Every structure is written in C-alpha cells, then in structure tokens.
C-alpha cells in the first residue's frame, strides 16, 4: 500500500511557534540557532506537516550558512519550486508538494554532483534516524544508506 501524504490540520495545530511561522507564513529561522544545521546523524528529513520524504543525510553538507543544506532531494515529486521576489531579488522557493510547507530556497552554488544548494529551515523538517525508518513507515528509504552509493 502506497503511503499517502497530505496537509494535516492536526499536525499544523501541534507546530511550535517557529515551525508555524516557517511552514505556514513563509518565515525563516535564525542561522546557527536551529535544530539540524549541524546534525550529522544518518537518517531521513521529512516535512513536519505532511511527512513527505524530502532529504537524506547522505545528501547533506556543511554550506557554512547555518541552515541545513543538501545538494539534492530524495524524490523531486515531493518538491514544488516557486519564484520568490520578497527580498528585492529573484530566488527559487522550495515547498513540499502535498503539505504546501515553506521549506527554504534552492541556489545554484552547491557542490557536485548537482551544483545545487537546498538551503532549508530546520523548523520545516522532522528527522527520522536511520534506525527508526522501518518503525516510522519509511523502510523503503533504507536503501539510501546501503553501501557507498548515493
């Protein structure tokens, strides 16, 4: 049975103030003062509202910005890109497809192999450790952590 992802009103009601500001009001959390910017544990990052699988720790790198940064997404079907002109310049906003959560932005200054930097707010993410993927219903993503392939 395929897992269904959707915007969950109960999840929205249980968000912290910063999670709500980021995901529902397109906010940004402070750099270097957020939960996952320096997390090095193996696992999967999912949308805090819908549970959509977004990023793998295997795709995470230290961009020096103070926010979690990834060079690729787990599945592009769970990401929506939108033009953002809020800071007097054109940027590409990243949102979750089903949860419609504001996640952050993507830039063209990342490392190989993609050259992309997905600069993401920790407040938009829930981290699921590799050891908990099966019990949390994300067992199909365990293959992301086998061997050296990314």
* Residue of 74, 116, 119, 128 with catalytic role: 119
Pair of tokens at residue 111: 């490392």
User: Starting from the edge strand earliest in sequence, which strands make up the sheet with 53-56, in order?
Assistant: 53-56, 43-47, 125-129
Is 119 in the active site?
yes
Q: Is 118:66 a contact under the CB 8 Å cutoff? A: no
Q: For residue 84, give the H/E element and its range.
A: strand 79-84
C-alpha 74: how far from chain center: 9
Cα Rg of the chain, angstroms = 15
Catalytically active residues, by annotation? 119
């Amino acid at each position: 049975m395929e897992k269904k992802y959707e915007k969950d009103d109960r999840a929205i009601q249980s968000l912290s103030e910063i999670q709500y500001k980021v995901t529902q009001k397109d906010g940004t959390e402070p750099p270097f003062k957020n939960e996952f910017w320096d997390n090095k544990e193996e696992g999967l990052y999912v949308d805090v509202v819908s549970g959509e699988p977004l990023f793998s720790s295997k795709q995470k790198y230290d961009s020096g910005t103070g926010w979690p940064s990834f060079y690729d997404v787990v599945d592009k079907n769970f990401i929506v890109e939108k033009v953002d002109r809020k800071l007097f310049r054109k940027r590409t906003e990243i949102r979750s497809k089903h949860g419609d959560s504001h996640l952050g932005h993507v830039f063209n200054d990342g490392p190989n192999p993609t050259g992309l930097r997905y600069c993401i707010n920790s407040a938009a993410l829930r981290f699921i450790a590799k050891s908990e993927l099966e019990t949390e219903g994300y067992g199909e993503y365990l293959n992301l952590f086998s061997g050296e392939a990314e």
